[in-house]
C-alpha cells in the first residue's frame, strides 16, 4: 500500500516528535511518503497529486483545515470510486471531523487506531457537503459544517488572531463569538433561504449548514444544532430570523444543555439535499472553520458516500 502523510506543522497540537513517531509507525505498515505543508492550499495540492499518482491512502495530520484541504485535493476531479482512502490523525484544537467519526483525540492513540484500520482493511464511506458560488468562485467540499453570517465572522476574526500568534482555545473562541455578536447588524436581516419543495424563507440573519452532528465542539462539550444529521444522510439547516438577545440566549442555552433546538424564530431542517442562500449584501462564508471571504449567493449540496475513510 502506498501512503502519503500530510503534516501541518503549524497546527495547534502537532509537534516534530509526534510527526516522527507517526511517520515511523506508518512506515512499518505501508510504503510511506511524508510532506510538511508550508503554504495555504499545500495539503490540497499534495492530495490531488497523490490521487493522480495512484496512492492508496492519504493521512492528514493537523486540524480540521488540513483535513478539509486533503479532502478537496482527493476529490478535485469529483467523487470517484478509485480515490485514495483518507486517514486522520488529529493535530488541531477542535478536530471536529475526527471526533464525529469516533476517532481518538490523542494523536498516539489515533495512530494506533489508524494502523489497526489499515491492517484490518476497516473503513467506511461518508457523505460530504459541497458549497458552490457564482461565476468563477470555486466549489469547495466540507466535512462537518459551513455557515453564512455570525459563525463566519468568528472564523475570520480567529484567523486574524492566529496570524498574530494567538492560540486557538475554547475560551478565545467564546470571547470572539460574543464580541462578534455585538458587531452584527441585528436590525436588518439580509438572507433568503431556499430549499426544494418549500417556499423561500426571507428575513434570515444567519444560516448554518451541517453535514453531520455535532456542529462543533467547545473543548469537551459537543454543540448540537441539527441532532438528526449524520454522515449517512443529507444536510441540516439551522437559520435564525432574528438575532435579538432573548432568541440568541434561548438557543445557546438549548445547545449547552443538549436539548433539541426549537423556537418560533428558528428554521431547522434535517436530511436536505440542497440549500440555496442569497444575500442582499455580501456576507462572510466559512467551511470547516476556514474563512472563504464574502458571498452574495451560495448553494450547499449533499454528496452521499463521497469518500472512504479509514476507521
Angle between helices 170-183 and 150-163 (to 10 degrees): 120
At 183, give phi and psi (nearest 5°).
Answer: -95, -5
Please give the CATH number for the structural domain made up of 130-306.
2.60.200.40
CATH topology agreement for domains 2-121 and 130-306? no
What pLDDT score was predicted for residue 304?
A: 97
At residue 161, the 3 state secondary structure works out as helix
**What is the domain partition of the chain in residue ranges?**
2-121, 130-306
- pLDDT interval class at 250 (50, 70, 90): very high
Distance CA 3, CA 91 (A): 19
- pLDDT interval class at 280 (50, 70, 90): confident
Tens of pLDDT along 59-106?
999 999 999 999 999 999 999 999 999 999 999 989 999 999 999 999
What's the whole-number mean pLDDT along residues 232-237?
A: 98
127: CB partners within 8 A, 6+ apart = 211, 231, 232, 233, 234, 302, 303, 304, 305, 306
Tens of pLDDT along 129-152?
999 987 667 899 999 999 999 999
Percent of residues, the chain, with pLDDT higher than 90: 87
93: CB partners within 8 A, 6+ apart = 12, 13, 63, 167, 168, 169, 170
Mean of per-residue pLDDT scores for the chain: 95
**Residue 191, beta-bridge partner list:** 204, 279
Domain 2-121 of CATH type 3.40.1190.10: no
Are residues 31 and 187 in contact, defined by beta-carbon separation less than 8 angstroms? no
Query: pTM value?
Result: 0.94
Amino acid at each position: 500500500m502506498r501512503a502519503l502523510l500530510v503534516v501541518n506543522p503549524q497546527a495547534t497540537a502537532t509537534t516534530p516528535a509526534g510527526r516522527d513517531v507517526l511517520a515511523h509507525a506508518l512506515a512499518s505498515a505501508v510504503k510511506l511518503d511524508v510532506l510538511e505543508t508550508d503554504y495555504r492550499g499545500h495539503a490540497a495540492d499534495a492530495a490531488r497529486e497523490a490521487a493522480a499518482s495512484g496512492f492508496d491512502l492519504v493521512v492528514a495530520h493537523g486540524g480540521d483545515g488540513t483535513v478539509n484541504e486533503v479532502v478537496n485535493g482527493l476529490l478535485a476531479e469529483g467523487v470517484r470510486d478509485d480515490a485514495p482512502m483518507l486517514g486522520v490523525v488529529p493535530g488541531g484544537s477542535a478536530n471536529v471531523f475526527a471526533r464525529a467519526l469516533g476517532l481518538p483525540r490523542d494523536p498516539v492513540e489515533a495512530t494506533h487506531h489508524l494502523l489497526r484500520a489499515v491492517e484490518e482493511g476497516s473503513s467506511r464511506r461518508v457523505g460530504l457537503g459541497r458549497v458552490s458560488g457564482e461565476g468563477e468562485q470555486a466549489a469547495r467540499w466540507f466535512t462537518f459544517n459551513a455557515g453564512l453570517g455570525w459563525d463566519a465572522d468568528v472564523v475570520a476574526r480567529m484567523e486574524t488572531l492566529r496570524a498574530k500568534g494567538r492560540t486557538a482555545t475554547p475560551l478565545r473562541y467564546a470571547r470572539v463569538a460574543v464580541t462578534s455578536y455585538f458587531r452584527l447588524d441585528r436590525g436588518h436581516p439580509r438572507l433568503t433561504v431556499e430549499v426544494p419543495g418549500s417556499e423561500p424563507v426571507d428575513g434570515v440573519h444567519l444560516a448554518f449548514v451541517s453535514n453531520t452532528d455535532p456542529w462543533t465542539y467547545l473543548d469537551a462539550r459537543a454543540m448540537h444544532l441539527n441532532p438528526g444529521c449524520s454522515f449517512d444522510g443529507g444536510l441540516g439547516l439551522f437559520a435564525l430570523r432574528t438575532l435579538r438577545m432573548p432568541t440568541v440566549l434561548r438557543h445557546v442555552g438549548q445547545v449547552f444543555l443538549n436539548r433539541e433546538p426549537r423556537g418560533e424564530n428558528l428554521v431547522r431542517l434535517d436530511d436536505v439535499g440542497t440549500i440555496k442562500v442569497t444575500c442582499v449584501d455580501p456576507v462572510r462564508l466559512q467551511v470547516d472553520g476556514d474563512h472563504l471571504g464574502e458571498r452574495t449567493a451560495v448553494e450547499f449540496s449533499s454528496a452521499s458516500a463521497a469518500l472512504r475513510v479509514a476507521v
